[in-house]
Amino acid sequence: MQKSNCVLSLSSDENGTLLRVELIGDIDHHGAVGVRSEIDGAISEHRPTRTVLVLSGVEFMDSSGIGLIMGRYARMNAIGGELVLRGVSDRLMRIFRMAGLERIVKIEEEEDEDERD
């Protein structure tokens, strides 16, 4: 039995200042539970100044996904860091607009900005 249909890939830069999290699959209640603790563990370990959630591989997201993003936003704010979303599809952007998320969390399109200070 598969516990989650959302997988993630974590990477950080040499200094640990950037944490990149690529999410793939569906972020529903079951998918959010597993990845939440993995992302939080990486944030606690690396204490990055910038965490980038790459969502280009996300096929579906419900309110649990919004909660996942908002929780990581609050966690990064608590350590003085920034949360950025990338690879946001038109479908996800509609959901973010309805939830007001695009007014709170920074959304970028380009991958090459990972190296900026």
> pLDDT in tens for each of the 117 residues of the chain?
344 588 889 998 888 799 999 999 999 988 888 899 999 999 999 999 999 999 999 989 999 999 999 999 999 999 999 999 999 999 999 999 999 999 999 999 866 544 444
Pairing of the two strands 18-27 and 6-12: antiparallel
Q: Is 105 helix (H, G, I), strand (E, B) or coil?
A: coil
- pLDDT value of residue 106: 96
- pLDDT value of residue 81: 97
User: Residue 64 carries which side chain, given as an amino acid letter?
Assistant: S
In this structure, is the dihedral angle defined by the CA atoms of residues 49, 30, 95 and 9, taken in order, positive or negative?
Answer: positive
- pLDDT value of residue 112: 53
